Amino acid sequence: MLIAVSPRSLNALNTFMKVADARKDVKAGSEGKVLPKETDKFAYGDNVQVELTGGHIKGGVLEFAPAIDQYLKEHLFADIFARGVLTYQEREIATISALSSIQGVMLKLSVLIVLTILFVAGFAYAITQNNKGDIMDNKKILVAYFSWGGNTKFIAEKIHSQVGGDMFRIETAVPYPTDYNEAAYGVAKKQHDENIHPELKDNGDVSEYDVIFVGTPAWWYTMAPAVMTFLEVNNFEGKTIVPFITHGGGGKYNIAQEMGQLAKGAKVLTPFVVYGKGDSQTDKELENWLKKL
């Protein structure tokens, strides 16, 4: 196997070593997060790329060399972006700064630049989409969530502690089995396959609220059926829905868009998406997300 070591990489490592040495007394930042082994990294990376750019990037060099698409998604957008030591924005800014400081690279790497510009444009879009001012000012807030195993409840409580307002737990009239296989592969799978939106123990009442955080676990590639019922039986006309999603590796799917289809007349904002009940980075990520709403 041929191993090529670029002199630039060696120069970078030498510079990095000097910087690390000069800063050895500075308190270290948090450890990077490592994705759980069972994560579908391609799907994870694909979700991140869509989040960055607002859509799927196809064709061109990605079609010519599909391996680079796989590498970008599984390694760059999954392994590296998931580390969480930098926000997506900080990472992009660092990338552009580094590229622009390397003489001659800008011309030679025109393909990369085009991709980078696309990513940055995606960022700018995402940022303007997010920076809608403080939507929670003087608004009545409800944090509604469904949770079978406790992860979404955990995140709902974190959100509630930040935004205040009222809380509502969405529960089905007939509780799900407590056994995972019976719940996941029995009742929930049947409801998913047959598009059953189960009756709720209490439909809740969103009429007095302006902003409704709606939390769901990812269940069979979409939101939990109980949340579908909640969105259908309540009148969301003119309200703002802020989704939050916990998942087991599949990401956010199209849950936010699907919430918009069920909650007629609602405006749906960018969801907060977290694996399981989160990790040491979650509070910071949550705070950043809330700030941008």
Ligand X SMILES: Cc1cc2nc3c(=O)[nH]c(=O)nc-3n(C[C@H](O)[C@H](O)[C@H](O)COP(=O)(O)O)c2cc1C
Q: What is the DSSP letter of 172?
A: B
Question: How many chain residues interact with ligand X (CB under 6 A)?
Answer: 21
From the list 279, 267, 272, 273, the residue with the least C-alpha distance to 132 is 267
- Which of 149, 165, 177, 186 binds ligand X (CB under 6 A)? It is 149
Nearer to ligand X, 153 or 239 (CB): 153
Q: Which is nearer to ligand X, 91 or 153 (CB)?
A: 153
CB closer to ligand X out of 16 and 221: 221
- The residue within the footprint of ligand X, chosen from 55, 150, 164, 265 (CB under 6 A), is 150
Q: Would you count residue 250 as binding ligand X (CB under 6 A)? A: yes
Among residues 91, 158, 247, 252, which is the contact residue for ligand X, using CB under 6 A? 247
Could you give the angle at which helices 88-101 and 110-130 cross, rounded to 10 degrees?
Answer: 150
Which residue, 122 or 271, has its beta carbon nearer to ligand X? 271
**Does residue 226 belong to the site contacting ligand X (CB under 6 A)?**
no
For 147, counting Cβ atoms within 10 Å of its Cβ (0-12 exposed, 13-18 middle, 19+ buried), the class is buried
**Does residue 215 contact residue 243 with C-beta atoms inside 8 Å?**
yes
Residues 6 or more apart in contact with residue 269 via CB below 8 angstroms: 130, 132, 135, 240, 241, 242, 243, 256, 293
39 lines the binding site for ligand X (CB under 6 A):
no
For 83, residues 6+ apart whose C-beta sits below 8 A from its C-beta are 32, 33, 34
Site map for ligand X, 182-201, x if CB under 6 A?
A: -xx---x-------------
* Residue of 53, 151, 172, 240 interacting with ligand X (CB under 6 A): 151
Supply the minimum distance, in Å, between the C-beta of residue 204 and ligand X: 17
Q: Name the helix (H) or strand (E) containing 242.
A: strand 240-247
The reply to whether 177 sits near ligand X by the rule CB under 6 A is: no
- Using CB under 6 A as the criterion, what x/- string covers residues 202-221 for binding ligand X? ---------------xxxxx
Burial of 10 (0-12, 13-18, 19+ CB in 10 A): exposed
Tell me if 147 contacts ligand X by CB under 6 A: yes
Q: State how far the Cα of 156 lies from the Cα of 134, in Å rounded to an integer.
A: 19
In the complex, the residues that contact ligand X under the rule CB under 6 A are: 147-153, 183-184, 188, 217-221, 246-250, 276
